[in-house]
């Protein structure tokens, strides 16, 4: 019998019960209205689960779980008129199972026990977040994102078909989920940090949707607020962080190995963006940089994600057609033309062409940077036309330095 009891595993079970029980003891209350389980009850229950598993295995644990559930039902029935809730009761049953889990996988049980304790301890914060901070639109968007990522994406077939064998439903679905997730992350960042970092954070967040549109927006604001031209120019340049990050994400969504072909250009571009933007902001003073706009209710823009994904599919077909008719030069032509509108969609389409076997992996870098270069031209034109000479000068110099660093990174790599 003693050989089946591992003292370290038993200690883990006791520790889980005491940890959860300590948190529940603080919320237990006193007098006739106190909860039915506290520190001792949780500790004993966790050890009981371990002993049941060690002595007779899962069958005895199941029997003890049913018995504990009956005890919990009686306790709840006695206080049903006072609406006591069942959080502690469910936690007690959970602790019994965690104690049993300690017999075979104590590390996993401890990790789950810590997470359980954190969730129990953050009761007020979680209620406030759900009832006061989350909007109906954010809840809806979150459900859409989870449905796409956890239901639709796993069921989507991963194979190429269609004209030139260039269309992969799994890649298309992955990119859609990725764009929605990137938009949601930017929205969360805005909600957490708020308006203190003003235009800069707003530009980075909106850059995940469209870097060119972000620069045009900053330019229009610069015409209305001449005193903030440097701050707005810095924000416009910082939107390139989203461009570089999304480039890596869309390449990785098609195949993680493709990121390695452009790691040096992306790293140098990010560093150059930070340096150029910081020079324009120095000396940094958040009070001088107002917010660009109020954070919207939606967590992401589903329409933008679908439009970009449709663009990826169209450019993929165009690139495949030009590759079939003109060879590698056709891909460069497609990258040059489509990059004027969207570099991310072009990079993703080139990666899709490579994954379909029509191009070798080594040929992904030059078309991708060609698309980034033509997109840089679009950003420079938008900066000059929307923001005027001063704004345009700041942004154009920064954009040229960023794209030059990307080509230099390709040479160094």
Query: pLDDT per residue over 63-73, tens digit each?
Result: 888 888 888 77
Does residue 106 share a domain with residue 85? yes
Distance, in Å, from the CA atom of 211 to the CA atom of 273, rounded to the nearest integer, reads: 13
Q: Where are the alpha helices (DSSP H) in 255-327?
A: 263-281, 302-326
CA torsion sign for 248, 251, 255, 258 is negative
Does residue 194 share a domain with residue 114? no
pLDDT bucket at 203, cuts 50 / 70 / 90: confident
The helix or strand, by DSSP H or E, that contains position 351, with its residue range, turns out to be helix 343-355
Q: State residue 102 phi and psi, 5-degree precision.
A: -60, -20
Does residue 193 share a domain with residue 175? yes
Q: How far is CA 353 from CA 174, 247, 322, 334, 371, in A?
A: 16, 16, 11, 12, 15
Reply yes or no on whether the pLDDT at 190 is more than 70.
Answer: no
Distance, in Å, from the CA atom of 380 to the CA atom of 401, rounded to the nearest integer, reads: 12
Reply yes or no on whether the pLDDT at 78 is more than 50.
Answer: yes
CA angle 401-406-409, nearest 5°?
A: 120
Q: What is the mean pLDDT of the chain?
A: 75
pLDDT bucket at 404, cuts 50 / 70 / 90: very high
Q: Which residue has the higher pLDDT, 369 or 165?
A: 369
DSSP state of 206: H
Token pair belonging to 241:
């962080």
Residue 5, pLDDT score: 56
Which of residues 130, 164, 185 is at a domain's end? Answer: 130
Q: Helices (H), strands (E): how many in the chain?
A: 17, 0
Q: State residue 327 phi and psi, 5-degree precision.
A: 80, -155
Does residue 186 share a domain with residue 82? no
Which of residues 130, 153, 182 is at a domain's end? Answer: 130
Distance, in Å, from the CA atom of 279 to the CA atom of 234, rounded to the nearest integer, reads: 8
Q: For the residues 362-376, what does the mean pLDDT come to?
A: 77
Residues of the domain holding 15: 2-130
Residue 294, pLDDT score: 45
Does residue 140 share a domain with residue 124? no
Residue 7, pLDDT score: 82
Q: Where are the alpha helices (DSSP H) in 148-285?
A: 153-155, 169-193, 198-207, 211-224, 229-254, 263-281
Q: For the residues 154-164, what does the mean pLDDT come to?
A: 71
Q: For the residues 229-247, what does the mean pLDDT come to?
A: 84
Is residue 115 classed exposed, middle or buried when 0-12, 13-18 and 19+ CB atoms within 10 A define those classes?
exposed
Residue 181, pLDDT score: 73
Instruction: Please answer whether residues 401 and 271 qualify as being in contact, where contact means their C-beta atoms are separated by less than 8 angstroms.
Output: no
Distance, in Å, from the CA atom of 219 to the CA atom of 207, rounded to the nearest integer, reads: 14
State the total domains in the chain. Answer: 2
Q: For the residues 79-105, what does the mean pLDDT come to?
A: 80
Does residue 201 share a domain with residue 102? no
Which of residues 106, 130, 154 is at a domain's end? Answer: 130
Does residue 250 share a domain with residue 370? yes
Distance, in Å, from the CA atom of 407 to the CA atom of 370, rounded to the nearest integer, reads: 9
Q: For the residues 210-221, what does the mean pLDDT come to?
A: 74
Considering the chain, what percentage of its residues have pLDDT values greater than 70?
Answer: 62
Does residue 180 share a domain with residue 319? yes
Residue 352, pLDDT score: 63
Instruction: Please answer whether residues 259 and 252 qualify as being in contact, where contact means their C-beta atoms are separated by less than 8 angstroms.
Output: yes
Q: For the residues 360-370, what does the mean pLDDT come to?
A: 70
Does residue 383 share a domain with residue 280? yes
Reply yes or no on whether the pLDDT at 249 is more than 80.
Answer: no
Does residue 145 share a domain with residue 121? no
Does residue 13 share a domain with residue 125? yes
Does residue 234 share a domain with residue 91? no
Q: State residue 161 phi and psi, 5-degree precision.
A: -155, -175
Residues 6+ apart with CB under 8 A from 328: 359, 363
Residue 33: other Cβ atoms inside 10 A: 10
Distance, in Å, from the CA atom of 198 to the CA atom of 193, rounded to the nearest integer, reads: 10
Mutual orientation of helices 211-224 and 229-254 as an angle, nearest 10°?
A: 170
Reply yes or no on whether the pLDDT at 1 is more than 50.
Answer: no
């Amino acid at each position: 019998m003693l050989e089946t009891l591992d003292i370290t595993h038993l200690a883990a079970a006791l520790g889980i019960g005491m940890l959860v029980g300590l948190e529940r003891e603080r919320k237990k209350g006193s007098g006739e209205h106190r909860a039915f389980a506290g520190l001792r009850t949780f500790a004993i229950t966790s050890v009981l689960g371990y002993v049941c598993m060690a002595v007779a295995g899962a069958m005895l644990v199941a029997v003890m779980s049913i018995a504990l559930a009956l005890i919990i039902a009686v306790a709840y029935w006695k206080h049903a008129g006072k609406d006591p809730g069942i959080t502690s009761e469910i936690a007690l049953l959970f602790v019994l199972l965690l104690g049993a889990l300690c017999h075979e996988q104590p590390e996993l049980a401890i990790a789950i026990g810590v997470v359980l304790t954190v969730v129990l301890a953050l009761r007020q914060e979680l209620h406030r977040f759900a009832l006061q901070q989350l909007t109906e639109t954010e809840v809806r968007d979150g459900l859409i994102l989870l449905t796409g990522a956890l239901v639709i994406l796993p069921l989507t077939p991963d194979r190429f078909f269609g004209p030139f064998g260039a269309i992969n439903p799994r890649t298309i679905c992955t990119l859609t989920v990725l764009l929605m997730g990137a938009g949601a992350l930017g929205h969360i960042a805005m909600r957490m940090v708020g308006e203190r970092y003003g235009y800069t954070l707003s530009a980075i967040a909106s850059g995940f949707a469209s870097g060119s549109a972000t620069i045009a927006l900053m330019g229009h604001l610069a015409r209305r607020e001449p005193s903030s031209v440097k701050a707005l120019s810095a924000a416009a340049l910082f939107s390139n962080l989203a461009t570089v990050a999304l480039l890596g994400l869309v390449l990785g969504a098609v195949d993680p190995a493709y990121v390695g072909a452009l790691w040096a250009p992306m790293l140098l571009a990010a560093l150059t963006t930070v340096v150029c933007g910081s020079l324009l902001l120095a000396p940094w003073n958040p009070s001088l940089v107002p917010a660009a706009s109020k954070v919207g209710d939606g967590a992401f823009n589903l329409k933008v994600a679908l439009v970009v994904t449709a663009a990826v599919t169209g450019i993929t077909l165009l690139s495949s057609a030009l590759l079939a008719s003109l060879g590698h030069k056709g891909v460069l032509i497609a990258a040059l033309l489509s990059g004027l509108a969207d570099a991310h969609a072009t990079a993703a389409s080139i990666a899709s062409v490579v994954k379909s076997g029509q191009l070798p992996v080594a040929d992904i870098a030059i078309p991708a940077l060609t698309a980034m270069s033509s997109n840089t031209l679009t950003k420079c034109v938008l900066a000059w036309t929307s923001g005027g000479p001063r704004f345009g000068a700041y942004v154009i110099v920064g954009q040229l330095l960023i794209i030059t660093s990307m080509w230099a990174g390709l040479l160094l790599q």
